[in-house]
Chain A
């Protein structure tokens, strides 16, 4: 089995599990299909030699963010199917709008000029921790430090918002 076949199978599985996220009625099932989608996307990253991003994707998305979603579903007790259905007109117009956007994006490709892939021999190792870490702490060190400020702001905001209002007033 060559790499092209593997890429096509993985792409099909990714699209299938992403479709199941928006089709399945049960919110917990949606979360689990989204975790599956993230694993498929990580497999695509590994296929593209982006090992560090693949591992970070699994740890951050499937490990942290999705667990957060599951905890909120548990706290709000939304695991039953109580979601009101959208009307068939809304669904139809959403699919038509999405299909139109897809057509526009793909039609924009038609006039694109193809640029050849890189043939550099050291291009295979750019996705490893060594090269990414070197770039992150030299060229992109300022955005890297700024993201810690963003995280502190998000943490303070989340704690403040999730507190009971009674405690805020006192």
Chain B
């Protein structure tokens, strides 16, 4: 079943711009205040989802499907990124016995 789009029913595009900006900023603050590396990866997923939300909103707003295809590709890249990131994290935990990002400073010159 297909309803008329919500942008023809009084919801403005600014609502979704503000909503996804707030979600992106929450993800960014989470990256800065948390020190568990797994939570950091989760905050990156939150930021990616904020961008996805904005892309779907504009795709619906302009009536073009290209934005939703790009959301699909962002999901593909996010899945690959989460897999590799978590396996790097598991390996780092095996060597250092912690996931605290302030311990991961061995690459610092």
Contact = CB atoms under 8 A, between A and B. Distances in A.
A149 to B, nearest CB: 11
B68 A132 contact: yes
Interface in B82-107: 82-84, 86-91, 93-94, 99-100, 102
Contact of A38 (B5, B34, B49, B100): B49
A18 B19 CA distance: 11
Interface string A138-170: 011001000100110111011001100100000
Contacts of A136: 69, 72
A65 to B, nearest CB: 5
Nearest to B36: A83
Nearest to A38: B49
B19 A78 contact: no
13 contacts: A21-B30, A22-B43, A34-B45, A53-B71, A84-B100, A98-B29, A106-B18, A109-B14, A123-B60, A126-B68, A127-B68, A151-B80, A161-B90
Interface of A: 2-4, 7-8, 11, 14-15, 18-19, 21-22, 27, 30-31, 34, 37-38, 41, 44-45, 47-50, 52-53, 56-57, 60-61, 64-65, 68-69, 72-73, 75-76, 78, 83-84, 86, 90-91, 93-95, 97-99, 101-102, 105-106, 109, 115, 117-120, 122-128, 131-132, 135-136, 139-140, 143, 147, 150-151, 153-155, 157-158, 161-162, 165
